[in-house]
Amino acid sequence: MSKIDRTRGSIMELENIIFKKANKIATITLNRPKFLNALCDQLIKEINYILDLLSKDDEVHVVILKGSHKAFAAGADINEMKDLKLISHIKKDFIKPWEEISKFKKPIIASVAGYALGGGCEIAMMCDVIIAADNAKFGQPEINLGTIPAAGGTQRLVKSVGKSKAMELVLSGSTISAEEALNYGLVSKVVPIEDLDNTTINLAENIANKSLPILILAKEAILRSFESTLSEGMINERRLFQSTFELEDRKEGMMAFIEKRSPKFKNN
Ligand code: CAA
């Protein structure tokens, strides 16, 4: 159990995740090994608590979300869900708090080994890049539980792998391997499991060296493409591009190129 020292506000005991921060990179490791990292309410609260801290922490440029070698996450916690009734969903809006992950402004890399099923696949898809180990398995098996995905499995999956494959996965509850996930564009890379951490850190370090405000704008521009028409997305992209010209880091980046040196971003 680890405590987070927060200068203002409350301190949360972390029981279901492990949190580390070094060199502009924060790592959140899902840590419920007995339940294959099933996503219980408390675990989601802990992730959201940390993301809230990280959103205010200018030292952190990029976040890695990972699980164990056996499971990234095997979905929502079925024990917690099994007795729920519609009335409690209406009152508490079950699953809604999960969406906070998708609203996080800085880049998040999902580093996936083993099972990424149901809610596990869905929170990986809320991240910006998915790097998969060769043993990763992705799927939306909710149909086998007599229900359907609830955290974007019928939405983000379609945008990622297309209608036919998304239908196959959601309607049959079958899983796909890391290689298939790569072929369908669900993940950006597949690596041997022993290389997963290094590959993820290498990408995180590369991203972490960029200017933080520019990273936030780049992520925002890409995510807008999911919510808008092409012409609206292009206008938004152009305006965000133009807004970078108010930033010192944009000037530094271009001057560094002209002066044939590496840029020294100050994140402003
Ligand atoms: N919730 C709660 N507990 C879970 C769990 C889950 N989603 N997935 C696994 N566990 C538990 C098991 O009950 C088991 O606990 P016990 O040792 O106490 O019996 C432990 O984790 C290990 O699991 P298995 O023995 O089943 O391990 P396995 O290697 O034989 O199988 C598996 C692994 C194929 C992932 C299998 O555990 C499984 O099918 N899990 C459920 C996957 C699933 O249906 N996910 C969708 C959940 S619904 C959802 O996510 C809704 C949404 O969209 C938000």
Q: Which residues line ligand 1 (CB under 6 A)?
A: 35-36, 38, 74-79, 95, 115, 117-119, 122, 141-142, 145, 149-151, 153
Contacts of 256 (CB under 8 A, 6+ apart): 262, 263, 264
Q: Over 60: is that where the pLDDT of 236 sits?
A: yes
Tell how far the Cα of 136 is from the centroid of ligand 1, in angstroms: 15
Q: Over 90: is that where the pLDDT of 248 sits?
A: yes
Element (DSSP H or E) covering residue 14: strand 13-14
Nearest CA to ligand 1 atom 41: 74
Cα R_g (the chain), whole angstroms: 19
Are the CB atoms for 132 and 153 separated by under 8 Å? no
- pLDDT > 90: percent of the chain: 96
**Ligand 1 atom with least separation from CA of 98:** 54
Are the CB atoms for 105 and 62 separated by under 8 Å? no
Are the CB atoms for 44 and 93 separated by under 8 Å? no
Whole-prediction pTM? 0.96
d(CA 23, CA 21): 7
d(CA 89, CA 213): 37
d(CA 97, CA 101): 8
Nearest CA to ligand 1 atom 45: 75
Is 142 tagged catalytic? yes
pLDDT in tens, 42-67: 999 999 999 999 999 999 999 999 99
* Residue tagged active-site, from 26, 73, 76, 132: 76
Are the CB atoms for 167 and 148 separated by under 8 Å? no
d(CA 136, CA 114): 4
State residue 12's pLDDT score.
Answer: 87
156 confidence band (pLDDT: 50, 70, 90): very high
Tokens of 49: 């608590």
d(CA 194, CA 41): 31
Tell how far the Cα of 77 is from the centroid of ligand 1, in angstroms: 8
